[in-house]
Amino acid sequence: MTDPDRSYCGPLERVDECCYRIPRSYKPGMRVDGLVFADERLLPHVRSDRAAEQVANVAFLPGIQAASLAMPDIHWGYGFCIGGVCATDPAAGGVVSPGGVGYDINCGVRLVRTSLALADVQPVIVQLVNQLMRDVPVGVGQGGRHVFAPAELRDLMRDGVDYLVRRGLATEDDRACTEAEGRLADARPELVSERALARGQDQCGTVGAGNHFIEVQVVDRVEDERAAAAFGLQHDQICVLIHSGSRGLGYQVCDDALRALRDAPTKYGIQLPDRQLVCAPVESPEGDHYLGAMRAAANYAFCNRQLLMWQVRKVFERVLGRPWEALGMHLLYDVAHNIAKLEEHDVDGTRTTVCVHRKGATRSFPAGHPDVPERYRATGQPVIIPGDMGRASWVLAGGPRALERSFGTTCHGAGRCLSRTAATRAARGRDIRAELEHGGVVARSRSRDGLAEEQPEAYKDVDMVVDVVHRAGLSTRVARLRPLGVIKG
Amino acid sequence: MHEVFEHTADLGLRVEAPSLELLLAEAGAGLFEILAGDMHQIRCRDERTFDVPGTDPEWLLLDWTTELLAAFTVDRMLFREFAVSVHPAGLCGTARGEPYDPAIHTLAHEIKAVTQHELDVRRTATGWEATLIVDI
């Protein structure tokens, strides 16, 4: 049954088979239309919560360009929906909003290739997953092996993965295969609070809880041979997917910013339909402060995933008895899906620097874009889309229409369709771990409810989500990966 | 009393109490129930006090629960009992509990933050009620 207080009953006008419009006329105060990428199959999900209302609310933001956008994995978030994209023009009074990035600044994923085949790993998958669970900190309250003093943390936040290269915990190749080469310029670690530093000092190199995980996967379908070859992927190949973000440090940076910006809308005369959209002009002391601290937290997140990968490599070395280099454990790519960046885009035919907010959305730059690493420039950047722990994840390539339609952006995952409590209810009387094992997935979780809350049925079918972004030209299918083993918080 | 309710990716907390002070104390208990699950595992061996400035009941609720969460995330404190007094310039809160010890405590959820999303504090015919949502 649809609850009118918990669902979206407003307009969704069909633009084409993969896109629906919330017209600017829906609410007085909207500066642009809302555009939701979805098809008929996903529309009931889009209407099932208030996320589309949030797409309309984001259209109120000063300086917003083109449209308030949402990807097909859209669901209800704070202020901005998850799957939301918004580009603002600083020169036109455009704002930056912490709600457009989210609490987990630079939450993202990285995919590690190996030279192993399914037959190499299948016999040791239980041992491998158990060893990952022992050696990689996962779950709430778990501190990491790498503890950084405040001065070291500031260097790490300023220099990103470069700092870990200097410390011998990353290679030049790792750095080159990370979005923004693992370092957002103009990070301002000095603006990160003492409380954030305290939360972050022992968490770099930890998975965390919630929907974060490390998953051993196998390539079960290649859809684009040319792109797969460029990405170093082939059928039957083992990969490892790592999903985490900036941990407590990033959450605190967001919390600090929301508090510091409470009075900014009044100060700058900004009318907002939802206080969670609190924001300040990019070109203001408040906007500058948030962006500086946010970039520092983003660099921390790149380092977190790098240290997680470093530990995963050690686990594989231990279980398989060969150095990680001999196992071909090279980083394919690392992508952020909660971030705000200043990027150049064509807006109404004019090259414009805009502040692109991606909240639960992934950069998807196409072939030829200068920000795509040279090794991938002929195919478009790798886009990594985690699905759920029972079905599949995807590797896509930056799509030909992404720049014109979505400021170079695509989806970030399957998107939840069951709340945590509903998923736990649905799991009562069942053994989710045994069900996954029966389906060929060895799953380990630190917490009592972790597997229940994150069970496959809690998520939309990622194949369906990926189908929409593929047909919309936002990103194109390269390879599908099936899970073999997963550790979660 | 308090109850946990569902929200797409996260969890919400609904609290009712006869006074604002009791409402804030009850919200503390609800927060740590989400975090730790079973409250009986937490012993009241240590006490912390919190001074939170402000006059708006919604901001007071948000800032008080945020301070409690910080005591866990920074100092690893788990709390079970809470008392709050509200004065014209803010609140003074006391929380009793003990440091987190993985050997004796299990944790249920990692709370990233207490959010402003649907944050609501209001008077009712019988007292006060509040809603808040935590990011998991």
CB atoms closer than 10 angstroms to residue A4? 7
pLDDT tens-digit readout, B21-80: 999 999 999 999 999 999 999 999 999 999 999 999 999 999 999 999 999 999 999 999
Cα–Cα distances (Å) from A61 to A79, A82, A88, A270, in that order, read 11, 17, 8, 8
Q: Which residues in A lie closer than 8 A to residue B108 (C-beta atoms)?
A: 140, 447-449
Is there a contact between A251 and B100 if contact means CB atoms under 8 Å apart?
Answer: no
Chain B residues 19-48 with CB within 8 Å of chain A: 35, 37
Candidate from B35, B66, B110 with C-beta closest to A210: B110
Nearest residue of A to residue B109 by CA position? Answer: A140
Are residues A394 and A53 in contact, defined by beta-carbon separation less than 8 angstroms?
Answer: no
CA distance A67 to chain B (A): 23
pLDDT tens-digit readout, A374-424: 999 999 999 999 999 999 999 999 999 999 999 999 999 998 888 888 898
Instruction: Look at residue A253 and tell me whether its pLDDT is greater than 60.
Output: yes
Spatial separation of the C-alpha atoms in residues B47 and B93, rounded to whole Å: 10
Judge whether A489 is closer than 8 Å to chain B, CB to CB.
yes
Average the pLDDT over each of A38-42, A74-78, A463-467 and give the range with the smallest value.
A74-78
Q: How many residues in total does chain B contain? A: 136
Mean pLDDT to the nearest integer, A453-479:
96
Binned at pLDDT 50, 70 and 90, residue A2 comes out as very low
Domain CATH code at residue B101:
3.55.10.10
Is there a contact between B135 and A195 if contact means CB atoms under 8 Å apart?
Answer: no
For chain B, the maximum distance between any two Cα atoms, rounded to a whole number of angstroms, is 45
Return the SS3 of B95: strand
Binned at pLDDT 50, 70 and 90, residue A1 comes out as very low
Candidate from A49, A140, A254 with C-beta closest to B109: A140
CB atoms closer than 10 angstroms to residue A93? 16
Residue carrying structure tokens 């859809």: A223
Candidate from A78, A421, A489 with C-beta closest to B6: A421
Chain A residues 250-269 with CB within 8 Å of chain B: 251-252, 254-255, 258-259, 262
Chain A residues 219-238 with CB within 8 Å of chain B: none
Identity of the residue numbered A405: R
Tokens of A407: 């400021």
Percentage of the residues of chain A whose pLDDT score is greater than 90: 90
A interface test, pick of B7, B8, B66 with most A CB neighbours within 10 Å: B8
- What residues contact A141, with CB distance under 8 A and at least 6 apart? B76, B100, B102, B107, B110
- Helices (H), ranges, chain B: 20-36, 57-75
Find the helix or strand (DSSP H, E) in which B125 lies.
none
Is there a contact between A103 and B112 if contact means CB atoms under 8 Å apart?
Answer: yes
Q: Does domain A13-488 have CATH number 3.90.700.10?
A: no
Nearest residue of B to residue A139 by CA position? Answer: B110
pLDDT tens-digit readout, B93-124: 999 999 999 899 988 888 989 998 889 999 99
pLDDT at A403: 98
Are residues A477 and A466 in contact, defined by beta-carbon separation less than 8 angstroms?
Answer: yes
Spatial separation of the C-alpha atoms in residues A271 and B86, rounded to whole Å: 31
Instruction: Look at residue A213 and tell me whether its pLDDT is greater than 90.
Output: yes
CA distance A111 to chain B (A): 24
pLDDT at A311: 98
Instruction: Look at residue A310 and tell me whether its pLDDT is greater than 60.
Output: yes
Q: Considering its fold, how many domains does chain B have in total?
A: 1
Are residues A58 and A101 in contact, defined by beta-carbon separation less than 8 angstroms?
Answer: no
Binned at pLDDT 50, 70 and 90, residue A33 comes out as very high
Structural domain spans, chain A: 13-488
Instruction: Look at residue A210 and tell me whether its pLDDT is greater than 90.
Output: no
Instruction: Let me know if A438 is a catalytic residue.
Output: no
Spatial separation of the C-alpha atoms in residues A58 and A340, rounded to whole Å: 15
Candidate from A251, A255, A416 with C-beta closest to B9: A416
pLDDT at B136: 86
Q: When comparing pLDDT for A76 and A231, which is higher? A: A231
pLDDT at A177: 98
Catalytic-role residue among A212, A243, A412, A470:
A412
pLDDT tens-digit readout, A339-381: 999 999 999 999 999 999 999 999 999 999 999 999 999 999 9
Candidate from A82, A141, A251 with C-beta closest to B112: A251
Q: What is the DSSP letter of B41?
A: G
Binned at pLDDT 50, 70 and 90, residue A463 comes out as very high
Nearest one of A329, A298, A299, A300 to A312, comparing CA atoms: A329
Candidate from B8, B59, B116 with C-beta closest to A49: B8
Nearest residue of A to residue B70 by CA position? Answer: A195
Is there a contact between A419 and B116 if contact means CB atoms under 8 Å apart?
Answer: no
Spatial separation of the C-alpha atoms in residues A276 and B116, rounded to whole Å: 6
Instruction: Look at residue A448 and tell me whether its pLDDT is greater than 70.
Output: no
Is there a contact between A75 and B8 if contact means CB atoms under 8 Å apart?
Answer: yes
Please work out, in degrees rounded to the nearest 5, the angle formed at the alpha carbon of residue A470 by the alpha carbons of A467 and A476. 125
Identity of the residue numbered A162: D
Spatial separation of the C-alpha atoms in residues A197 and A253, rounded to whole Å: 9
Judge whether B94 is closer than 8 Å to chain A, CB to CB.
no
- What residues contact A151, with CB distance under 8 A and at least 6 apart? none
Are residues A36 and A46 in contact, defined by beta-carbon separation less than 8 angstroms?
Answer: yes
Its domain, for residue B44, covers: 2-135
As a three-state string, the secondary structure of chain A is CCCCCCCCCCCCEEEECCEEEECHHHCCCCCCEEEEECCCCCHHHHHCCCHHHHHHHHCCCCCECCEEEEEEEEECCCCCCEEEEEEECHHHCCEECHHHCCCCCCCEEEEEEEEEEHHHHHHHHHHHHHHHHHHCCCCCCCCCCCCCCHHHHHHHHHHCHHHHHHCCCCCHHHHHCEHHHHCCCCCCHHHCCHHHHHHHCCCCCCCCCCCCEEEEEEEEEECCHHHHHHHCCCCCEEEEEEEECCHHHHHHHHHHHHHHCCCHHHHCCCCCCCHHHCCEECCCHHHHHHHHHHHHHHHHHHHHHHHHHHHHHHHHHHHHCCCCCCCCCCEEEEEECEEEEEEEEEECCEEEEEEEEEECCEECCCCCCCCCCHHHCCCCCEEEECCCCCCCEEEEEECCCHHHHHCCEECCCCCECCCHHHHHHHCCCCCHHHHHHHCCCEEEECCCCHHHHCCHHHECCHHHHHHHHHHCCCEEEEEEEEEEEEEEC
Is there a contact between B7 and A419 if contact means CB atoms under 8 Å apart?
Answer: yes
Is there a contact between B136 and A210 if contact means CB atoms under 8 Å apart?
Answer: yes
Nearest one of A396, A373, A374, A401 to A383, comparing CA atoms: A396
Q: What is the rounded average pLDDT for all residues in chain A?
A: 95
Are residues A189 and A157 in contact, defined by beta-carbon separation less than 8 angstroms?
Answer: yes
Are residues A360 and A104 in contact, defined by beta-carbon separation less than 8 angstroms?
Answer: no
Cα–Cα distances (Å) from A237 to A122, A219, A222, A462, in that order, read 12, 5, 11, 20
Are residues A242 and A305 in contact, defined by beta-carbon separation less than 8 angstroms?
Answer: yes
Q: What is the ipTM of this complex?
A: 0.86
Spatial separation of the C-alpha atoms in residues A358 and A336, rounded to whole Å: 9
Spatial separation of the C-alpha atoms in residues A411 and A199, rounded to whole Å: 29
- Residue A42 has, within 13 A of its CA and on its CB side, a CA count of 31
CA distance A18 to chain B (A): 24
Helix B20-36 × helix B57-75 angle, to 10°: 30
Spatial separation of the C-alpha atoms in residues A201 and A189, rounded to whole Å: 13
Instruction: Look at residue A484 and tell me whether its pLDDT is greater than 60.
Output: yes
Instruction: Look at residue A5 and tell me whether its pLDDT is greater than 80.
Output: no
CA distance A327 to chain B (A): 34
pLDDT at A489: 84
Return the SS3 of B44: coil
Q: Which residues in A lie closer than 8 A to residue B109 (C-beta atoms)?
A: 140, 209-210, 447, 449
Spatial separation of the C-alpha atoms in residues A343 and A106, rounded to whole Å: 16
Spatial separation of the C-alpha atoms in residues A321 and A227, rounded to whole Å: 31
Interface A–B counts its CB contacts (< 8 A) at 90
